[in-house]
Amino acid sequence: MLEDLDQLSTRIAQLVQLTQHVRAENQALRDELGKRDVRIQQLRDTVEMAQIRVDDVLARLPGKPPEAADAADADAAGGSDTDIDLDDVQVDDADGDWADARTDADTDPSLSDDAGHGVRSAHGTP
């Protein structure tokens, strides 16, 4: 009977020790989670500030067509994420007016490759 009580006492002591260890570990994890939450908020704030700066720089770029400004404002206001229709993409072509890139590249022989496919460099020249 005394042996049983000793075993029970030993097991209870182990249980108390294990419970204290788990509580300390739980508290450490809570502290770590709190620090991570703070860091995540700092990173979100940093990303938000970077987005504002990028939007500001983009708004100051020369030659931005009014339609692009309206679309950028709609996106910033929570517009939907949609795929871009490449047939509707406009670029500033060599003569400085806004034109449909696909039409220019397909109709101007100087903007085509040897096979007759419309080709343009990033600067509007073949």
Question: Which residue type occupies 31?
Answer: D
The stretch 60-82 carries a mean pLDDT of 62
Angle at 98 between CA 95 and CA 104, to 5 degrees: 70
For residue 91, what is the enclosing H or E element?
strand 90-92
Percentage of residues in the chain having pLDDT higher than 70: 50
Global confidence as pTM: 0.41
pLDDT at 63: 73
Whole-angstrom distance, CA of residue 50 vs CA of residue 43: 10
Instruction: Please state, in angstroms and rounded to a whole number, the distance separating the CA atoms of residues 42 and 45.
Output: 5
pLDDT at residue number 5: 92
